[in-house]
Chain A
């Protein structure tokens, strides 16, 4: 809507109950004062409105006051720039958009990766290392850019901590991007040697099979990482990770196999020695029978879990037997068996749960360390809650967060929980028409 001088005078007349002539005179005086002051080389400031002055080109310039800017920008109040890429990496990386995706996930792995470069020799590992170095820088920078975000890191750490021994490693990874550099740095200083484990943990909790199936966008990196993680982690302490020093290449291959073939046990058996094959077949039969008659749902779980574990170690004699013997006969590798059993049991409950991050479904508390797509911003909480309920009824993960700026609170309604800004941007395009273009992304804030 356009407001010209006449319209403005009318509005002023209505509002002040003054004579039109009087308003005109006053407005003209105001304009004249502004110009006179500016021409004298002085700036005229109108309180809570702005500053008028002539710039070096001789044009009248207006700088809105802080109050006016804040009120106009109320919808986005409190949003601060977020550093996506640190200075070092930028020189090597060409594209701006592409690196964003990688960098955000990398922060998780960054610190551990620095110290533990040696384990994986593959190209992917090199990329991760690069990302990792970049991440460290980012962390420091992030601290400078966004002061209030450090608190979020601990949140990301919590979910992973509960599972098992991996707590410390997981802390570093994802939250690193925007969160406190201090916390990350401290984690890195601790000396975790496993790069992929951190990042993997954040994205994909314990079970690799779940990760692979769920994440399409991050397919390249996460898939590789997930496979790698399984073997690496098993070696240290946690159940999910079996063989630590298996080469990365070998690990990646099994992961692909696991995805393609739902039942990997049968194909892997023929490769083994005849004696072992016979034993394993017998054990498998016994296991299957027991599973069918004793625990109905147990068979499916074991197959799914065993698949990734067996494939990674292609010199598989011990692992397969171990799997079979785990349930029935604890003969040779007792330790490995126990570890594998734990793996089998852990992933099962998580499979039933929804993905940690996503656009649809129920809110996941553990995912509050990520980003969300803001669709609405209201001054009244009731209206925001109403809108949130409507979005929730459509199946979205809806968050309502309030931010107080100069005594006024903006209630933002956002949807989805995403680990990275890039992923949030990508999913924002999938939203229905007004939302796919009219939105912005913010770090999730839980008040």
Chain B
């Protein structure tokens, strides 16, 4: 699974969720205090869960 994620493949496991590598572009982030910071681009793993806690209810 790790290998497939590293290859930027979308891994879908029905009982668990979806692993996907998403590219975030370089962007500017403005803070409330006025600071503006250039955030570098990045590739990150995003996980979409298909499982919810059974204790929730």
Asked whether any CB of chain B lies closer than 8 Å to the CB of A282, the reply is no
Docked-complex contact A72 and B9, CB < 8 angstroms: no
In the complex, are the beta carbons of A72 and B6 less than 8 A apart? yes
Residues from chain B with a CB closer than 8 A to the CB of A85 are 34-36
CB A419 to nearest CB in B, in angstroms, measures 15
**Total A-B pairs in contact (CB under 8 Å)?**
144
**Chain B residues within an 8 Å CB radius of A91:** 34
Contact A69 B44 (CB under 8 A): yes
- B interface secondary structure, majority: mixed
Segment among A93-101, A106-114, A284-292, A358-366 that sits at the interface with chain B:
A93-101
Q: Are B36 and A3 within 8 A (Cβ)?
A: no
A62, B41: Cβ atoms under 8 Å?
no
Expressed in whole angstroms, the Cα–Cα distance for A89 and B16 within the complex equals: 47
Tally chain A residues at the interface, Cβ within 8 Å: 54
Contact with B along A47-60 (1 / 0, CB 8 A): 01110001000111
Interface digits, B10-21 against A, CB 8 Å rule (1 contact, 0 not)?
Answer: 111111110101
Interface centre among B29, B36, B43 (most CB of A within 10 A): B36
Known A59-B51, A62-B45; 20 more pairs at CB < 8 Å? A4-B12, A8-B1, A31-B16, A60-B17, A60-B49, A60-B50, A62-B49, A68-B6, A68-B45, A72-B8, A79-B42, A83-B35, A84-B36, A87-B33, A90-B30, A93-B34, A96-B28, A100-B36, A141-B35, A421-B38
Interface contact A8-B4, CB-CB below 8 Å:
yes
**Given the interface contacts A84-B37, A86-B35, A141-B35, does A60 sit within 8 Å of B51 by beta carbon?**
yes
A87, B53: Cβ atoms closer than 8 Å: no
Q: Nearest residue in A to B50 (C-beta to C-beta)?
A: A60
**A43 part of interface (Cβ distance < 8 Å):** no
Q: List 19 A-B contacts (CB under 8 A).
A: A2-B11, A8-B1, A11-B4, A28-B15, A31-B16, A34-B16, A49-B2, A50-B45, A54-B53, A59-B49, A60-B47, A62-B19, A64-B44, A68-B5, A72-B21, A83-B38, A87-B34, A90-B33, A96-B36
Q: Report the separation of the CA atoms of residues A88 and B34 in the bound assembly, to the nearest whole angstrom.
A: 7
Is there an interface contact between B4 and A3, defined as CB atoms closer than 8 Å?
A: yes
Asked if A86 meets B12 with Cβ closer than 8 Å, knowing A8-B4, A72-B44, the reply is no
Is A76 positioned at the interface, with any CB of B under 8 Å from its CB?
Answer: yes
Give the 4 A-B residue pairs with the shortest CB-CB distance, closest first: A90-B34, A79-B40, A62-B47, A85-B36
B38 and A84: CB pair below 8 A? Answer: yes
Residue of B nearest to A12 (CB): B1
Complex Cα gap A100–B44 (Å)? 27
CB-based contact A73/B43 at 8 Å: yes
Q: How far is the CB of A5 from chain B (nearest CB, A)?
A: 5
A50's closest neighbor in chain B, by CB? B45
Let me know if A31 and B15 touch, CB within 8 A: yes
CA–CA, A48 to B45, complex, Å? Answer: 13
Q: Decide if A82 is an interface residue (CB 8 Å cutoff).
A: yes
Tell me whether A61 is interfacial, beta carbon within 8 Å.
yes
Chain A residues closer than 8 Å to B49, beta-carbon distance = 59-62
B39 to chain A, nearest CB (A): 5
Determine the chain A residues whose CB is within 8 A of the CB of B37 once the complex forms. Answer: 81-84, 145
Contacts of A350 in B (CB 8 A): none
List chain A residues, Cβ under 8 A from B44: 64, 69, 72-73
Smallest CB separation, A68 vs chain B (Å)? 7
Alpha-carbon distance between A250 and B13 when the two chains are bound, in angstroms: 73
Say whether B9 contacts A2, CB under 8 Å: yes
A99 to B3, CA, bound (A): 43
Q: How far is the CB of A10 from chain B (nearest CB, A)?
A: 11
Residues of A within 8 A of B15 (CB): 5, 28, 31, 35
Partner of B52, one of A58, A81, A90, A442: A58
Q: Is A189 an interface residue (CB 8 A)?
A: no
